[in-house]
Amino acid sequence: MQLFIFLTDHIKKVILSLSEGPPAFDCFLIGAAYYFFGLL
């Protein structure tokens, strides 16, 4: 559950900073998160 809270909080921060252009690492994290939640 802590992981879920951490990921959602991080994704929120990334979405808020999209206007500045997210780093490639954040793009990777978002993709990994979507993949991980897709397995649930």
| Pair 8, 34: CB distance under 8 Å | no
List the domain range (segments joined by +) for residue 33.
1-39
Half-sphere exposure of 26 (CA within 13 A, CB side): 15
Q: Which DSSP letter does residue 32 get?
A: H
Overall number of domains in the chain: 1
pTM, two decimals, is 0.38
pLDDT tens per residue, range 1-40: 788 888 888 878 877 776 565 566 667 777 787 887 777 6
Q: Name the DSSP class of 17.
A: T
